[in-house]
Amino acid sequence: MIIMLVWKNTHMMTIRHIEPREAFLAKTLIYRVAQRVFQDPRPLEESMAYYEARGTLNDMDELQETYFEKDGIFLVLTDEDQIIGTGAIRKIDAEICELKRLWLLFEYHGKGLGYRMVQELFGFARGKGYQRVRLETDRDHQNRAYDFYKRLGFYEIPPYSDANEVAMEIFL
C-alpha cells in the first residue's frame, strides 16, 4: 500500500508500510518529537540512550512480530523519501486494536497530514474487522494530540494498561 499526497504542488508526500531497515530512523523521529513535547533538556543522543535503556520503544525493534504478524500495521509518512511521521495499529483482541506511535515532525503540523495518517490506519483497522480503536496519551504534555483525538471522536475510558496516561477509545 502506498498513498501519494501532493502538498503545495512541490512536495510529494507518501504514506506507506515501514521497511524493517527504517525502524531506527522512525525511532529517532519519535524521540526527536518527544524531546520537544516533553521539554527534555538533554541532547537527543543522551535522551535516546536513556529511553532505550528503559525499553520505551521496544515494540519497534520487532516490527514484523509486534505489528505485521499480529493483525497490525506500521506506516510511515515521507516527504521526498525522508520520514516525517509514523503511525501504527496493534491488536488488543479480535474486536479492539490500539493506535500506536502516531508522531509527526512539528513543522508538518496543521497541514492535515496527521488526519490522513489516522484515516489510513482506521481503514486498515476496519478491513481487519476491528470495531474499536483505543489509545493512550499524556494529556498534560501531549495536549495538542489529546485535542486532536477529541476532534476525531475519541472519548476517555478507564485505563486498560499499567501506563500512567489517559486512555481513549473510538468506535469505527
Q: What digits encode the pLDDT tens for the residues 47-71?
A: 999 999 999 899 999 999 999 999 9
Give the C-alpha separation, 170 to 149, whole Å. 9
Assess if residue 170 is contained within a domain. no
Our separate counts of H helices and E strands in the chain read 5, 8
Q: Give me the domain span that covers residue 94.
A: 2-131
Q: Is the pLDDT of residue 9 over 90?
A: no
Closest CA to 136 of 113, 115, 118, 161: 161
SS3 148: helix
Assess if residue 103 is contained within a domain. yes
Q: Which residues pair with 76 in a beta bridge?
A: 16, 86
Residues 9-18, mean pLDDT to the nearest whole number: 83
Lowest mean pLDDT segment, chosen from 9-13, 27-31, 129-133, 146-150: 9-13
Determine contact, residues 104/77, Cβ cutoff 8 Å: yes
Confidence class for position 3, pLDDT limits 50, 70, 90: low
pTM to 2 decimal places: 0.92
pLDDT at 140: 87
**Domain count of the fold of the chain:** 1
pLDDT at 158: 95
Give the C-alpha separation, 38 to 70, whole Å. 30
Q: Is the pLDDT of residue 16 over 90?
A: yes
Assess if residue 37 is contained within a domain. yes
Phi, psi of 82 (to 5 degrees): -95, 130
Q: For the segment 35-51, what is each residue's pLDDT rounded down to a tens digit?
A: 999 999 999 999 999 99
| Cα→Cα distances 52→56, 126, 166, Å | 6, 32, 23
Say which residue the cell 510511515 belongs to. 76
CATH number at residue 104: 3.40.630.30
